[in-house]
Amino acid sequence: MRIIIVTLVCLVAISAWSLLAVYAAFYGWWMNPVVEQGNTKEFYAWAIREIETGNPGNTAFVLLHNGEVAKQY
């Protein structure tokens, strides 16, 4: 009986930790924004610099703002 209780406690703890990790990753707790929110012009310039320095090959980039295409690269 004790093994079952220990197993259940471990499963609950693992589940709670997993949910916390997914939530933290989804909302970017450990990430810093590259530009202030809503500044599409500055974000587009940053993204193009990243593409040209890190992956200049076959890259397509479309920036959507409020559900519409703002810029394309």
Over residues 55-67, the pLDDT tens digits come to 767 888 998 888 8
Q: Are residues 55 and 66 in contact, defined by beta-carbon separation less than 8 angstroms? A: no
Pair 4, 11: CB distance under 8 Å: no
pLDDT of residue 44: 92
Contact in structure between 46 and 63 (CB atoms under 8 Å): no
Residues 23 and 47 occupy one common structural domain: no
The residue range of the domain holding 26 is 1-31
**Residue 72 sits in the same domain as residue 38:** yes
Element (H, E) at 60: none
Higher pLDDT, 29 or 71: 71
pLDDT digit string, tens, across residues 9-66: 999 999 999 999 998 888 877 778 888 888 888 999 999 998 888 876 788 899 888 8
Other CB atoms within 10 A of residue 43 CB:
19
What was the pLDDT predicted at 45?
93
Model pLDDT, residue 7: 95
